[in-house]
């Protein structure tokens, strides 16, 4: 990419439920050059249709070839020579890992998990009632349901769920942990997973983790560690933050919560609108031009970085009328909240199940739910891959 002065890309959200205010200008300018917060230049793709087109263009690679930054990686690197994250692979290399995983996210498997998700959510609701008004929704519900469910799916011991929850949170830099704790998070996470791999070699079960070890897929233990670390963290973090941030958005715009409370059976559709409106994958999807090519009047050079900016795409007027309005009565649209193309979130149906169960149950059990502190006192996670809420005190 030839050297010119590019404007800096801001990821700052003055309003936590909105993407950066520069998004409309980026869309209007089409594909443009920006300076990423890391100091690297990239092509910024902000329009909905352009994002969808380039996400499946074989000339755009997920393999960053050493050009990417840790700010876009789902979990810290195990060590410099570790296998690539599945998120950074293309073609056959990507399918080698994705296809064995996909069998654990079939409609049949999700049907088997539905009752567990409901029981877990009900237990969380009961704990909220036990603790009483003023409870932190993040720890008692938003993180608990997806973390417990992903542990069940993977076949992790029930007794380990708190350990996993802590390690995954640290790995993602959440809860304002110290720099030392965050630095140690990666080694602690992989040390824990190495113990699980060793246990599954001796004690196989029907969980996803055991299948990675015993399923005849040809994975090395090192590959299992990296793959499982990515899946475990990604499998709960995005959903957990959607549940917390989505509830905040609904309570902050009271008419939207009241509409859900009046029709809790629409919770799944509400979840689709919140996925579009919030786009918790705040840094978008970073890709690399695998070759020189031209698209829509823009000339990409090999190894140019390309940022598919999902927050802008989901607020594109070409996708939906009044895109900056949260409307839980809106019919679902084909948003980009789960990404798009070969790397579209493999666990999206599980996330939909969890969000539907949690929001429908929450609206039924706590129709008078409201923030327990002024909205301006809520602390948000803005320096991580996934945008979210640190704490969400609620009352009823």
Q: At what angle do helices 144-154 and 161-171 cross, to 10 degrees?
A: 110
Please say whether the beta carbons of 33 and 333 come within 8 A.
Answer: no
Among residues 293, 277, 306, 302, the alpha carbon closest in space to that of 50 is found at 306
Per-residue pLDDT of the chain (396 residues; tens, 9 = 90+): 444 578 888 888 999 999 999 999 999 989 999 998 888 899 999 999 999 999 999 999 999 877 765 455 555 566 666 788 898 999 999 999 999 999 999 989 999 999 999 999 999 999 999 999 999 999 999 999 998 998 899 998 877 777 777 776 666 554 445 566 666 667 788 888 899 999 999 999 999 999 999 999 999 999 999 898 888 877 888 999 999 999 999 999 999 999 999 999 999 999 999 999 999 998 899 999 999 999 999 999 999 999 999 999 999 999 999 999 999 999 999 999 999 999 999 999 999 999 999 999 999 999 999 999 999 999 998 877 889 999 999 999
Residues 6+ apart with CB under 8 A from 100: 211, 212, 215, 217
Strands (E), the chain: 32-35, 41-45, 60-61, 135-136, 285-289, 293-295, 298-300, 305-308, 370-371, 380-381, 388-389, 393-395
Please say whether the beta carbons of 175 and 189 come within 8 A.
Answer: no
Instruction: Measure the CA–CA gap between 372 and 183, rounded to whole angstroms.
Output: 33
Please state the φ and ψ torsions of residue 85, each to the nearest 5 degrees.
-60, 145
β-strands 41-45, 135-136 pairing: unpaired
- pTM (2 d.p.): 0.92
Tokens of 57: 């263009």
Domains and CATH numbers, the chain: 23-75+98-395 (1.10.630.10)
């Amino acid at each position: 990419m030839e050297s010119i002065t590019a404007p800096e890309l801001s990821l700052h959200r003055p309003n936590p439920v909105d993407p950066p205010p520069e998004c409309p200008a980026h869309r209007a300018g089409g594909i443009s050059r920006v300076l990423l917060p890391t100091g690297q230049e990239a092509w910024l793709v902000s329009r909905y249709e352009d994002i969808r087109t380039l996400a499946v263009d074989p000339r755009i690679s997920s393999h960053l070839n050493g050009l990417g930054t840790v700010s876009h990686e789902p979990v810290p690197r195990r060590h410099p020579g570790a296998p690539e994250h599945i998120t950074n692979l293309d073609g056959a290399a990507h399918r080698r890992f994705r296809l064995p995983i996909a069998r654990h996210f079939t409609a049949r498997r999700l049907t088997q998990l539905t009752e567990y998700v409901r029981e877990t959510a009900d237990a969380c609701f009961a704990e909220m009632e036990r603790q009483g008004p003023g409870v932190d929704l993040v720890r008692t519900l938003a993180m608990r349901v997806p973390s417990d469910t992903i542990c069940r799916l993977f076949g992790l011991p029930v007794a380990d769920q708190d350990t996993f929850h802590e390690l995954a949170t640290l790995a993602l830099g959440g809860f304002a942990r110290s720099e030392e704790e965050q630095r140690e998070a990666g080694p602690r996470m992989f040390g824990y997973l190495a113990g699980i791999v060793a246990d599954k070699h001796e004690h196989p079960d029907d969980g996803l983790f055991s299948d990675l070890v015993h399923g005849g897929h040809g994975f090395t233990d090192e590959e299992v560690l990296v793959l499982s670390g990515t899946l475990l963290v990604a499998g709960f973090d995005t959903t957990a933050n959607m549940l917390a941030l989505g509830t905040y958005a609904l309570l902050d715009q009271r008419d939207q919560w009241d509409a859900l409370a009046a029709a809790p059976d629409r919770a799944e559709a509400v979840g689709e609108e919140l996925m579009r409106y919030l786009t918790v994958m705040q840094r978008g999807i970073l890709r690399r031009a695998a070759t020189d090519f031209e698209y829509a009047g823009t000339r990409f050079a090999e190894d140019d970085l390309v940022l598919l900016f999902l927050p802008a795409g989901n607020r594109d007027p070409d996708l939906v009328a009044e895109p900056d309005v949260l409307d839980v009565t809106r019919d679902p649209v084909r948003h980009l909240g789960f990404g798009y193309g070969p790397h579209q979130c493999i666990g999206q149906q599980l996330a939909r199940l969890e969000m539907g169960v949690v929001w429908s149950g929450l609206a039924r059990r706590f129709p008078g739910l409201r923030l327990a502190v002024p909205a301006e006192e809520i602390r948000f996670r803005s320096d991580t891959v996934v945008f979210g809420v640190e704490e969400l005190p609620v009352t009823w």
